[in-house]
A = this chain, B = another copy of it.
Amino acid sequence: MAKRKMRATATMDAVTTLYRRYYEGRRERVWTLDEAGATDSVAQKLTGLRLRAGMTQRQLAHLVGTTPSAICRLESADYEGHSLAMLNRIAAALDQRVELHFVPVSRGKRLKPS
C-alpha cells in the first residue's frame, strides 16, 4: 500500500477528466443520473457505470479480479461476446445488480418510443 501514493492535484482527478471527455464527446448532455440508459449498448453501459463510479479500468479490473485489457475489451463498442457471469461480476464490484428483461419487439404496430 505504501507504493501507490498519488499526487493530489495531478492524477486524482484523472477519472473526472475521462468522465468529462466521454460524456462531452459522445453525448450532448450528461445523463440524468436516475436514467438507466436503456437504449445503449452493453459496452456503453459498462463504461458509463464505471465512470460514474469514479473508477479507472485498472481499479475496476482489480475489484473484478481481472486485468485492464479485459475490461477494455468488454467496453469496446464492437464487442458482442459478453457473458452473464462476467456482467454479474462487474455489477457486484460496482454494488449493482444485473436485471434481464425480455420485452416484446411487436413488429407491426409501434408504440411511441418514449
Interface residues of A (CB under 8 A from B): 36, 38, 42, 45, 49, 80-85, 87, 91, 94-107
Contact = CB atoms under 8 A, between A and B. Distances in A.
Secondary structure at the A interface, as helix, strand, loop or mixed, is mixed
Kindly report how many copies of this chain are found in the complex they form together: 2
B84 A42 contact: yes
A102 to B, nearest CB: 4
Given A82-B83, A83-B83, A85-B80, A103 B95 contact: no
Contacts of A83: 81-84
6 contacts: A45-B100, A81-B85, A82-B83, A82-B85, A87-B100, A95-B105
B101 A99 contact: yes
